[in-house]
Amino acid sequence: MSDHNYETDFLVIGSGAAGMNAAITAHKNGLDVIIAESQKFWGGTTAISGGGLWLPNNPLEQKAGVEDSPEATFDYMSETIGTPGTWASDERKWAFINAVPHFYNMLAEEGVKWMHSKVYPDYYPDLKGGRIGRSVEVKAFNYKKLGDYRKLVTQGGIPFAIYTDDVWELGRAFASWGGFWRGARVVFRLLGKAITGQDARGMGYAYAGSLMYIIRKREIPVWLNSPMTDLIVEKGRVVGAVINKEGKTVKVKARRGVMLAAGGFAHNPEQRMKFQGIPGWSASPKGQNGDGIWIGQKIGGGVAMMEDAWWGAVIIDPKDAEHGLFILWERSFPYSMIVDRQGQRFANESESYVDIGHHILNHYKDEKDPLKKFGWLVTDKRHSRYINTALLTGKKPFLANGTLVEAKTLPELAEKMGVDKETFLDQIKTFNQYAEDGVDRDFERGRTAYDRYYSDPSVRPNPNLGKIAKGPFRAIKVYAGDLNTKGGLITDEYSRVLKKGGEVIEGLYAAGNNTASVMGHTYPGAGSTIAPASIFAYLGALHAARFDTSGPADFAGRK
């Protein structure tokens, strides 16, 4: 083995959706594979995520009769994403679109049980090519099938058999009969799984578990506690990597290449302050330090979109100041609004999480202190009938550190918030008039199908608007946190890493949050993080498997 301790065909760095899909694809196409994961847990951000994949024109969508096409998807991606750079080129968009049915069917053949998220709309459904029902998820997976690996999955997600289409109603389980019955069905489902002795989990755990089950069946080695420390380059081509395998430095020769799928840099506060002006407040798991990005950059890889992330509104965790508690329906349900430090609204509270994050950051673009870049989520008594996930464990820690304030009257609330009282009360008056009329004349809240996905249909005339008029009142600080970062190495339609000038670094592939996303600065639909991570890992592994000395295979989903 010359000076290498190990040899394989394809070395995969990371064990999230990108890493596991790269490994499965490569192995299915005849390559020997090793997965090296830096953390003691496998699954990465994928495991604790919502687990949805935005897969336009997939077989389940077609079976449901949704009128869709590759051309409609391309129109929609062009409208929402544009072309911010080569990482979101038309070639990469088409590679993603064309690969969808191939990728979907590959995992179905391997035993993944897909489900259709029938009612989940694209995030900009009113734009050209927008649709409802492009997303999919995976049916609940029994973790007992994983043996010892059952306890080694990333911690922090929802370890129950819950689906995306449960979530949109569970948030109002105590506010409507529809939500109540959905909650009852979920309880019966969980009891049924428990009675049969299953450790059944949905959402991100279902997808990650299904992939790891395939990895285990195929006997692909998974090295935990084994971070990559360097890449090995010979004559301009990446031929392997240096791995700190459980504390021991080893060299791994990779005949067909290395796939970087090690995640973003969400938990690297120094780099986040440098590129984004905030320390993070990420909902992603620990270990997202960006090592794959920095090591790829060290050998010449170009980077882009380092200032961006998969943003969202978060409440800082009082138990961990680096962690953000992601909120979604909490800001979209009626009887709520978000104001800035002066007491003025500045965004559509029901818009997509990436957009609300961008709006918070842009609103405070001249503010140097990251702790001052926040808005107040203001609610009245009626909002408390909706579930606030951040407060499920109790509100005392939030009250104690000033993140949450409560008052019997709105003037008193303004004083406790520290906002301009006159501005705040005028804004409440305007907002309440919009709620009565059913039209938000400032930000059009409740206009689109996406806005109304997280709403209360019993509230009329606009299910996203409700007067803030009944005390006691509450306000809680919300910041721009994220699901992970979305900037990184620039790649082509084959997932090959490119140098700053566009030249290919032979033998080096990257996918997922190690890369600048094909989705650009936006978020077209539910699962726009995991879907491209999975598909470009699939395409990169296919390229590595089909590469020969005469040149790369012309695939990218077209065959």
| pLDDT above 50 for 552 | no
Domain with CATH 3.50.50.60 in the chain: 1-159+199-308+486-559
pLDDT tens string 422-480: 999 999 999 999 999 999 999 999 999 999 999 999 999 999 999 999 999 999 999 99
In CATH terms, 1-159+199-308+486-559 corresponds, of 3.90.45.10, 3.30.2310.20, 3.50.50.60, 2.30.29.30, to: 3.50.50.60
pLDDT confidence of 178, banded at 50, 70, 90? low
- Specify the 3-state DSSP secondary structure of 546: helix
Lowest mean pLDDT among 213-217, 283-287, 333-337: 283-287
| pLDDT above 50 for 556 | no
**Distances from the Cα of 356 to the Cαs of 41, 78, 311, 338, in angstroms?**
31, 21, 8, 10
Q: How many CB atoms lie within 10 A of CB 137?
A: 26
pLDDT confidence of 559, banded at 50, 70, 90? very low
Question: What is the mean predicted confidence (pLDDT) over 67-77?
Answer: 97
Q: What are phi and psi of 170, to 5 degrees?
A: -60, -30
Q: Which structure tokens are listed for 381?
A: 């008594």
**Distances from the Cα of 74 to the Cαs of 71, 85, 135, 517, 556, in angstroms?**
5, 16, 16, 16, 15
- Specify the 3-state DSSP secondary structure of 521: coil
pLDDT number for residue 547: 65
pLDDT number for residue 198: 87
State the Cα torsion 273-274-277-283 to the nearest 10°: -50
| pLDDT above 70 for 174 | no
Q: Which structure tokens are listed for 450?
A: 């996406």
Residues 6+ apart with CB under 8 A from 542: 25, 29, 553, 555
Question: What is the mean predicted confidence (pLDDT) over 70-89?
Answer: 97
DSSP string of 297-323? HHTTB-EE-TT-EEEEEEEEETTEEEE
**Nearest partner of 243 among 181, 299, 295, judged by Cα:** 295
Percentage of the chain lying above the pLDDT 70 cut: 93
| pLDDT above 70 for 24 | yes
| pLDDT above 60 for 372 | yes
Residues 6+ apart with CB under 8 A from 411: 421, 425
Question: What is the mean predicted confidence (pLDDT) over 475-501?
Answer: 97
- E strand map for 55-140: 114-116, 135-138
Q: Name the DSSP letter for residue 149.
A: G
| pLDDT above 90 for 244 | yes
| pLDDT above 90 for 505 | yes
- Specify the 3-state DSSP secondary structure of 267: coil
Percentage of the chain lying above the pLDDT 90 cut: 87
pLDDT number for residue 192: 74
| Secondary-structure class of domain 312-482 per CATH | alpha beta
pLDDT number for residue 528: 98
- Specify the 3-state DSSP secondary structure of 98: helix
| pLDDT above 50 for 557 | no
Cis peptide before 524 (omega within 30 of 0): no
| pLDDT above 90 for 265 | yes
Vertex 435, ends 431 and 441: CA angle to 5°? Answer: 65
pLDDT tens string 183-225: 677 666 767 777 888 899 999 999 999 999 999 999 999 999 9
Domain with CATH 3.90.700.10 in the chain: 312-482
pLDDT tens string 100-150: 999 999 999 999 999 999 999 999 999 999 999 999 999 999 999 999 999
**Nearest partner of 456 among 388, 383, 351, 376, judged by Cα:** 383
pLDDT number for residue 460: 95
Q: Which structure tokens are listed for 243?
A: 């791995």
> From CA 456, how far away is CA 443, in angstroms rounded?
19
| pLDDT above 60 for 553 | no
pLDDT number for residue 37: 98
pLDDT number for residue 197: 82
> From CA 50, how far away is CA 64, in angstroms rounded?
22
**Nearest partner of 495 among 548, 532, 521, 550, judged by Cα:** 532
Q: Which structure tokens are listed for 502?
A: 């566009």
The 10 Å CB-count burial string (b at 16+, else e) for 256-284 is bbbbbbbbbbbbbbebbeebbbbbbbbbb
pLDDT confidence of 173, banded at 50, 70, 90? low
